[in-house]
Structure 1
């Protein structure tokens, strides 16, 4: 038997200008990365450092007087567990329904046999540019009896025109031969969508999931407008009120600790600064954990879904 001879292409040695360019690139992107990460790092080190030093702006790079009392005390605030449950539920359910609706509508708008396809597509797209406004929206929600219900968080956010456009453009990049072969085998529209389109659309659906999850998790204005029942407050709205009341909360915590305070107690005593920063970290951390899970799909999905015409 003859042995296969594999010729490996020799890499060209980098020129001096290429090396300088690479070093410059590494330094530039390393600096940009640090600029992006530093605000999160600054928040975290200030929440675990001595509160008196943090309040005076003395914590910039290295934490001092490390403690975790801020998190213990903030997590004990009333109504926090219920609000966290509401936020998690609306994020999970809202994201799932938004992704499903975006996938199905994006797929259907690529089907020439859909009745009034162009008309309905334009109706959805036009809502990106025009809306009735806050008061008509409030009246609509009240007429539909969605005020003070959990569904006011979910139903208005299911159909998102931008996400539908992304999915539609992505579906158009999938070879039509796949769908035609399935139709020849007797597959109907729903089977084609479930068996062929959904698995092929993983990157763009992951992108839509990120958009929907971030929007649901960070939203607090819908609570402000539609909800008066405290049992339905979202975590973000509750923490928003805590941030606005940081001074009074710090005083309340201080009074609850008693009269005389030693130096150790002063270091862990809540201040408006410590409450604001601790609340900010609690809000941001869940989203920071979501991004790495979908990152490998994100770039591919957003590029194909938005650039291809």
Structure 2
């Protein structure tokens, strides 16, 4: 016998149609700004300035080509990518190890240390003390400025600690009875069972490291250590001058696409946010888990 179909009333069908329409409109409103950035950056600036909606006008990659030729974008992309990978890995290691440490009740001053770390989320010394501290640690104008300050993050410590405390203590006890020490238990028991929260922290840390630019802006003058986000910041603020210099420096042969400040801003933004746009949809569920875990008392 075939399965009986559930009858849906006319009012319910209308409600479903309305919901689908509203959700579709909402998705379009969320996606279209990013799509507009892409099609504008792939269009001839002269034609795009007259109006562009669904498809590129005068399709061209010349704007991206000039950005990579006239700026340090390629090297900056490598700096940002390496910073993101290294910072994320060390942040996961440092924050998870510290979080596991403060779950141990026999740790001396455990509550004081944990609460002191939590306080840092609410109280900041300010920009000048931050600058002085980084300079005192000899992190000014060094690649380590992008790595060392982010090894332990208070918010990630709270998330991981909350998750670890949900793991049955009997698993740790059985490992200790088999002769496993602190690090062995951490590596063999805690980390494998904490994959969901580790994935959540990895996404947060990676996006944060990729989007970070203020440390580069304040403490790094070496152009070889410039990040993608700072180039984006400079291009947006000084797009007209950069576009004029590129236009004047280019040999305007027949068919050459001219550069405009708007097209430069669009193309630079696309290059800067494209990695996040490609990765985030596949990892969105981990953000949701992170928000839910963060709502649990640590």
TM-score, normalization by structure 1: 0.89
Partners of 2:3 and 2:157 in 1: CA distance: 45
Task: Determine helix, strand or coil for the equivalent of 1:76.
Answer: helix
Of 153, 174, 192, the residue aligned with 1:181 is 174
Whether 1:149 aligns to 2:138 is: no
Whether 1:60 aligns to 2:60 is: no
Task: Determine helix, strand or coil for the equivalent of 1:247.
Answer: helix
Aligned to 2:45: 51
CA contact (8 A) 1:46 1:274 kept: yes
CA contact (8 A) 2:80 2:227 kept: yes
How far has the Cα of 1:35 moved from its partner? 0.9
Aligned to 1:282: 271
Shifted more, 123-132 versus 181-190: the winner is: 181-190
Whether 1:16 aligns to 2:10 is: yes
Partners of 1:229 and 1:108 in 2: CA distance: 38
How far has the Cα of 1:25 moved from its partner? 2.5
CA contact (8 A) 1:55 1:271 kept: no
CA contact (8 A) 2:203 2:286 kept: no
Structure 1: state its 5+ residue gaps: 1-6
Give a deviation string over 1:229-285, Cα, whole Å, max 9, x none: 1111112112321222211222122223346x65x43xx211001100000000010
How far has the Cα of 1:292 moved from its partner? 3.7
How far has the Cα of 1:75 moved from its partner? 1.6
Whether 1:29 aligns to 2:23 is: yes
Partners of 2:101 and 2:3 in 1: CA distance: 48
Aligned to 1:71: 64
Aligned to 1:3: none
TM-score, normalization by structure 2: 0.92
Give the CA RMSD over aligned residues.
2.1
CA contact (8 A) 1:49 1:65 kept: yes
Aligned to 1:256: 249
The structure-2 alpha-carbon separation of the partners of 1:182 and 1:13, relative to structure 1 and needing over 3 Å to count, comes to farther
CA contact (8 A) 1:166 1:302 kept: no
Task: Determine helix, strand or coil for the equivalent of 1:209.
Answer: helix
Shifted more, 107-116 versus 205-214: the winner is: 107-116
Whether 1:38 aligns to 2:32 is: yes
Give a deviation string over 1:210-246, Cα, whole Å, max 9, x none: 1111111111111111111111111211232122221
Of 259, 268, 272, the residue aligned with 2:261 is 272
Aligned to 2:218: 225
Structure 2: state its 5+ residue gaps: none
Superposition misfits of 4+ residues, deviation over 3 angstroms: 7-18, 295-298
How far has the Cα of 1:116 moved from its partner? 1.2
Whether 1:306 aligns to 2:294 is: yes
Aligned to 1:4: none
Aligned to 1:203: 196
Count residues with an aligned counterpart: 297
